[in-house]
Structure 1
């Protein structure tokens, strides 16, 4: 029995080791193809390097596969490498087809040489035959590895993506042919009129088809280059369509929202960003027990979660694993923006890497006061605005009448200083919804009773508020924000509020530490760089706007899976938060319909406030 158990344990260990080896195949293949892409781009762009590396290029082509000095080919390999890294099934079949063609081509050369040895000797083709034998062996080994690891390429294609890729390829090639035919008509060179159309068709198809082997004339070289470039773009775009990530519907179904709100009722006091999980452009995935959930949206191939998991801490792990399984099933890169320190540890235990992003400013109501030298700036602003005759009104959204809610929505849209709403991780992006009755509205009016500014806060458990929206009339007096924040905290006890979360300050520790006496050169240089970029992204101004209240700073993090995904995660975060807009025909049509219906955009704040 002991021997049997030992044998079973050994077999299980061997199976596990083999599975681990198969699991690294997508990444290894992706790295190899990416290296080939970079190599092809370098030898295409830098002629001296191309000539210097010609022997190495020949060796690579003999041993593995072609590395052409062609920028379009390099881009194609880069797209393929990215799709392989995301475990895309379509990329797997492209790679299998690629190496299968190499096997068939080299096998034909080897068989021909064995059947006609005299011909090989007469034309000195032995070197080519040896190269084909080496390439045949390597390609066969690669195909064997791909066959063994086929289950590692599990991310499905989008529905009808193959058909869309073919339609895209056909449409763009038709455009390339039309442009090419027009150029040949205008600049025929030595090409005869009857050859204009077939020559343009041959060039559009990249020379794969030859309609006349005896044609002698040709148009100028640049015409051929333009057609080749357009055809290459058509192929690249078609492959991008084929490999693009599966989309997830960016919506929160009513039953999921109900479950999220139930979890917030029980556990909402843990995270100031918890209420933002009720955004209707997020999806939610729950733990098997239903006691926790991760709220996320898929952007640019990144499965981007926001804040902490909602619910019982004991169920965070299963919820995170379910979310990561969902991301990997579809080839999305998992990432989390804005988790707290406790949640960052939970994501790290699940295998994600963690970086500190900045700090959230939290005011403890019992500790806040305008007295003292350190609060002099805030105190002066509050007194100045008060002397100017401004008044403050604080109430729950449920206390607003329908007409008041409509006016608030219109003012929020009119005072917005960006074309689109910003926010994902720290903004609700809606205002006046009946389901948000517990939200708190702070309004400031001038001496004439005209509205001048507003703040809107979402619930943070039973005794907290988290800033959602901050808007003011561009012509209103300075100091209004300090006036409203101080006024809210003064009335907080009547609302049962003990803590208020304000804006998030990215890289707060750098701004603070870099300005201290004795700060190191690296920290000072890092701070100077952030100050420079603050001209466009308000990094320093947001830090200073929070710091003057002397809040408690709560660190917030970024969790991600692979360092190579960081640029993509940054891009997805910028798109989700509204700092980068990707226009589309559908978006433009939706805006036009909203404008025609007279519906104003809804309000929200960004991660930076």
Structure 2
């Protein structure tokens, strides 16, 4: 019962901040309503905590509401200190009889006291930790932002000033005062008369700087990089349980973090992107220890106020994650080829068969070997070709890509090379181990000047030589929203499904959604569904954005890349 009261008090504090933020923004755009609130902040009238009918205060209250909803300890401390000081000033102001005689003052006092009481009652709910570097970062952003904003605002005032007789130092002081305080008296600065829109622009810059400082102060910590001892333990688990999930080896990406079950027999690999902790694939290790690893991962997300999400979970893994309160959304299907059942015969394989025969007649040859059998010099050449043949500057992949090539620790990976009739390299494929008898596609590159059908020819050769290299199954590319493309093109598909398919076809111009599906479907594979798991529907847009960033579909522009392009 006590825990319920604590949660109710915490939720009351969050909703109070949301309501105050909404009223502040409403007062900023609705002049008569805003002026009415401001009159209650003058003379003997008072308004509740943070209610000032200002645009900046509205954003500030909403920002605090978001951080409080994520149960961040720093936001709770800030609200407790500021509201406590405000309540003391309020109590002192209520001593005169004239002030006590106004009923609205008592309402404001009781609301502020209620918010302060809710903070105290719900203190145990706010346990999420921030990054230890946040105070220094926030101070640096504040100092640098004020200096840069002051100079930029002073330049704007200089260009638009309609009066004469002021120095640049005076204009800088005027701009700096407005950046810091959002206000400035024109009477105190003789010879400075900028247009009204300039003051508004400076105020907007100041508000954005204020929010940026808040973000730096309250940002969630990033997960630590994969440690050597964690990688060694993961490889040990993959050696014992690696055949359970075709994506298991991708947990060894070194931009991921890992959290272990109490028994150490299972682990969840994840990466933090934009405050979202994205676990990739199923947990690694013993199935019976999966719940312990998932609980440890979810506890860590709560500790740091991260939003939990899982990308690329199998049906079995998604079921276990769902038992811990996560909802599932089908992302698409993974194409898996059983080498023992695969055949090129039949009408359905006619297109692939013709492409392979055409490439074979052109004199192309295939070479298949483990990475450990490739010399260091040859591997350097292969890496250079892979970079040269890469389309675009962004390396895509997170849950289904290793993110490196030629690392000595990945000696059991398989390299498939294709050479033309003159012996020149034209394409390469790299596969990671999937247990002792399986491979999972990691990298696929080809020379764009080469003949079509090379990739099909390489994959067919790999499957045909499966007995020689000791594999029984091969995982190919992931086809996002495969069922939509497949069912949406059938006779009798509903209007909603056809519209959804048309939308995905449109985005396929950039993200190759439909082409990946068709490239995999030609091998007549076994389709294994993969799922995205999330905690709340309201968090799904943020989870989707973080997932797109992790996979490389959305990339924030960097100054270095812009300079290189220019």
Same fold, judged at TM 0.5 (above): yes
Q: Which residue of 2 aligns with 1:289?
A: 263
Q: 1:230 to 1:311 in 2, by over 3 A?
A: same
* 2: CA distance, partners of 1:423 / 1:335: 16
Q: How many residues get paired?
A: 559
| Distance in 2 separating the partners of 1:221 and 1:483 | 69
Structure 2 unaligned residues grouped into runs of 5+? none
Tell me if the contact between 1:89 and 1:153 (Cα under 8 Å) persists in the aligned partners: yes
User: Which of these residues, 312, 317, 322, is aligned with residue 291 of structure 2?
Assistant: 317
Distance apart, 1:211 and its partner CA: 11
Say if 1:442 and 1:322 are closer, same or farther in 2 by CA, change over 3 A: same
Give yes or no for contact 1:57–1:67 (8 Å, CA) kept in 2.
no
1:102/1:136 contact within 8 Å kept: no
Change (3 A) 1:199 1:420: closer
Residue 75 to residue 395, structure 1, CA distance change in 2 (3 Å): same
What is the CA-CA distance between 1:257 and the residue it aligns to? 0.8
Cα distance in structure 1, aligned partners of 2:187 and 2:36: 35
Shift of 1:223: 3.1
- Cα distance, 1:340–1:57 mapped onto 2, change above 3 Å: farther
Number of the residue aligned with 2:125: 152
Partner secondary structure for residue 503 of structure 1? strand
Pair 1:23 & 2:7 matched: yes
Whether 2:274 is the aligned partner of 1:300: answer yes
Alignment deviations for residues 491-517 of structure 1 (CA, whole Å, 9 cap, x no partner): 011111111101111111111111121
Q: Any unmatched runs of 5+ in structure 1?
A: 1-16, 593-609
Contact 1:531 1:539 in 2 (8 A): yes
Native 8 Å contact 1:510 1:526 kept in 2: yes
Question: Secondary structure at 1:338's aligned position in 2?
Answer: strand
Partner secondary structure for residue 367 of structure 1: coil
1:130-279 equivalent positions in 2, closer than 5 A: 130-189=103-162, 193=166, 196=171, 199-206=174-181, 218-249=193-224, 251-279=225-253
2:59 pairs with one of 72, 75, 91: 75
CA distance in 1, matches of 2:280, 2:442: 14
CA distance in 1: counterparts of 2:124 and 2:434, whole angstroms: 44
Residues 50-71 of structure 1: per-residue CA shift (max 9 Å, x gap):
6589889999998754556654
**Corresponding residue for 1:11?**
none
Q: What's the RMSD between the two structures over aligned residues?
A: 3.0
- Contact 2:309-2:543 within 8 A present in 1 as well: yes
1:255-301 deviation per Cα after TM superposition (whole angstroms, max 9, x unaligned): 11111011011111100000111111111111111110111111111
CA distance, structure 2, for counterparts of residue 236 and residue 476 of structure 1? 52
Aligned to 2:552: 578
Normalising by structure 1, we get a TM-score of 0.85
1:95-134 Cα distance to aligned partner (Å, 9 max, x none): 224433542343344223x2xx4xx6xxxx95xx322211
Structure 1, 203-212 or 473-482: larger mean CA deviation: 203-212
Give the secondary-structure state (helix, strand or coil) at the position aligned to 2:340.
Answer: helix
The answer to whether the 8 A contact 1:305-1:337 is kept is: yes
Please state whether the residue corresponding to 2:490 is helix, strand or coil.
coil
Corresponding position of 2:373: 399
Q: How has the CA–CA distance of structure 1 residues 72 and 474 changed in structure 2, closer, same or farther, with 3 Å as cutoff?
A: farther
Question: Is the CA contact 1:38–1:74 (under 8 Å) kept in the aligned structure 2?
Answer: yes
CA contact (8 A) 1:109 1:132 kept: no
TM-score normalised to the size of structure 2? 0.91
1:584 CA displacement: 4.8
Partner-residue secondary structure (3-state), 1:248: coil
